Chains A and B, each alone.
Chain A
């Protein structure tokens, strides 16, 4: 009788365990799904959407280049005004400014991706 009971309980336990496993498995897969969904949402949501990202990168490259030339030209114009050597410094600094513009663009382009990698150097002392 005892043995019978034990066997029954054992079978019950087995069934219970199987059910538990199934449930926890379902729970686990659900959680994984939710996490994947969340990651995907984070990827596509917000202003970092694909088109917007490419767009702002393009505009950033343009404005960085123009700003480099403008800054060089401005410094040159100012120096010319101070030393009345027009147009010597304007030409020299205009050229340097163009180089600076290219450097700005190069700096953006040398990063593997746009926003995610802006943190380069963040952990340096």
Chain B
């Protein structure tokens, strides 16, 4: 994330580079830097969870207590948001939460690639959530699931409009879910890069060079702030997934 070399280009860090070019049936399925970091994220999560739960001591060690905290945090979120029935989806929510959390946090390390700053990735995750909601909603409730779009206690004249609005509101869910995560990551990383660019420019500005400490201080603060945003966005993604799943489990309100 630090200004690399002489070219200060805040967008450069989001570029996808092919590491192993690959074409399957005319589809570009190259192994890119994005894929590489997804593998790194999965490896990090696997190490934390597998190694953390292997000891099973009564007094947990560092890794074990990190793994237990992650489990308890997500479990209590799912229970309080989607009810006891929601625990059916705990593996799904936990996977999403850990993936988003790790990609956000790993992305904060300089010279890494932030997977969640790509809207293709976040929209895929959001689409996965919404498809699960739709499929499970129809499986569990049948046509009764469509009651989700019919608000109660509305005059028959207004009803068609309100149903249309409700449908659009439902369609907007994956969009808002993906845009929020992607925009937060993108904006944060661009801000950091721009401030880093100020440092380079000020150092090159002769007598103004001592002022370069100001953007450095700003970067320190912003990095702490970005860490907060990274964790918070993973949490928001998980809790909204639970809220939407709750609609599928208990429709009709």
Question: Which residue numbers of A lie inside 8 Å of B, CB to CB?
Answer: 46-49, 51-52, 55-56, 59-60, 63-64, 66-68, 70-72, 74-75, 93, 96-97, 99-101, 103-104, 115, 118-119, 121-125
Contacts and interface: CB of A to CB of B under 8 A. Distances in A.
Which 5 residue pairs of A and B lie closest in terms of their CB atoms, listed nearest first?
A: A67-B176, A71-B172, A100-B168, A67-B172, A67-B175
B250 A104 contact: no
Contacts of A96: 161, 164-165, 168
B171 A71 contact: yes
A55 B228 CA distance: 10
A56 B172 contact: no
A55 B73 CA distance: 21
Contacts of A104: 169, 172, 176
B80 interface: yes
A115 B82 CA distance: 13
A62 B175 CA distance: 12
Contacts of A125: 250
A72 B179 CA distance: 15
A121 B73 CA distance: 21
A68 to B, nearest CB: 5
Contacts of B239: 115, 118
A120 B228 CA distance: 26
Contact of A56 (B81, B165, B171, B236): B236
B175 A70 contact: yes
B232 interface: yes
Task: Determine chain B's interface SS by DSSP, over half rule.
Answer: helix
Given A68-B172, A122-B250, A59 B184 contact: yes
Task: Determine chain A's interface SS by DSSP, over half rule.
Answer: helix
B75 to A, nearest CB: 14
Given A60-B176, A101-B172, 15 more contacts: A47-B232, A47-B235, A48-B235, A60-B180, A64-B176, A67-B173, A68-B176, A70-B172, A71-B172, A93-B168, A97-B168, A97-B172, A100-B166, A115-B239, A118-B243
Given A100-B165, A118-B239, A52 B172 contact: no
Contact of A118 (B81, B161, B166, B252): B81
Contacts of A68: 168-169, 172, 176
B23 interface: no
